[in-house]
Every structure is written in C-alpha cells, then in structure tokens.
Amino acid sequence: MSIAVTQAAVQMEQNAENLTPHAVIQLLLDGALERLDQAALQLRCGREDQAGQLMHKAIGIINGLRESLDFELGGDMAIRLDRLYGYVIQRLEEAEADTGELILAESSKMLAELKSGWDAIEA
C-alpha cells in the first residue's frame, strides 16, 4: 500500500514561506488527525497492516510535536502537552486489531480537543 501525502503536508509545502510557528503546529495536528482517520478506515476494512502503518505515521507526527516543546518558555503547559503526547503515543502503540478503533477514537478525540484550543489562540 502506498500512503498518500496528507492534506496538511500539501498545505505546509505550498505555503512554507508564509507559515508562522503557530500555523505549523496547527498543520501538524491536522496531519496527525488525518492519519488517525485513515487508520480507523483501514481497520474497518480489515486491513490491520495498513492501519498499523498509518498509526506509526501519526506517532511520528506526534513525536515531532513533542520534540518541539520548549520547557523553559512553555513551563507547566509544555509539561502537560508532553504528558498528553506521551499518553497518545503509548495508547497508539498498544492498539491491536480488537482494540484499535477504540484507541483511535480516544486518541483522535484528545488531539481534536487540543487542536480546537490551539485554533482558538490568535497567532
């Protein structure tokens, strides 16, 4: 299976010169959510291997978000985000065929809530 580029990645590439750090985080969250949606679809279709690849891609994006945290400037918020990202990664790594859809839904809900808050912040 060839994994297509996310819409978020396309937007990032097309607008690279004009993106603020805030917008980059928004797009990364969009990309992670896109991958989780794709993984859920693959699970519903019985394609566990493809779902696993897509979850791995989402984990990579979340790790990138986690590595971008600035604990000096971010203080308590950075610590909380680090814990959230760590939890989502752990859950996705625990996902199996019988628990995958539940874990994907939980992970998507958490990231969507975070994205909603991030979107509400003015850059």
Q: Please, which pLDDT band fits residue 123 given cuts at 50, 70 and 90?
A: low
Task: Write down the pLDDT at residue 79.
Answer: 97
The CA–CA distances, whole Å, from 32 to 6, 49, 69, 73 equal: 9, 18, 16, 24
User: How far apart are alpha carbons 122 and 112 in whole angstroms?
Assistant: 17
Biggest CA-to-CA distance, the chain: 44
Q: Under CATH, which architecture does the 21-116 domain have?
A: Up-down Bundle (1.20)
Q: Note the pLDDT tens digit of each residue in 72-115.
A: 999 999 999 999 999 999 999 988 767 889 999 999 999 999 99
Q: Note the pLDDT tens digit of each residue in 19-65.
A: 888 889 999 999 999 999 999 999 999 999 999 999 999 999 999 99
Contact 31, 6 (CB under 8 A): yes
Question: Is the pTM higher than 0.75?
Answer: yes
| pLDDT value at 1 more than 60 | no
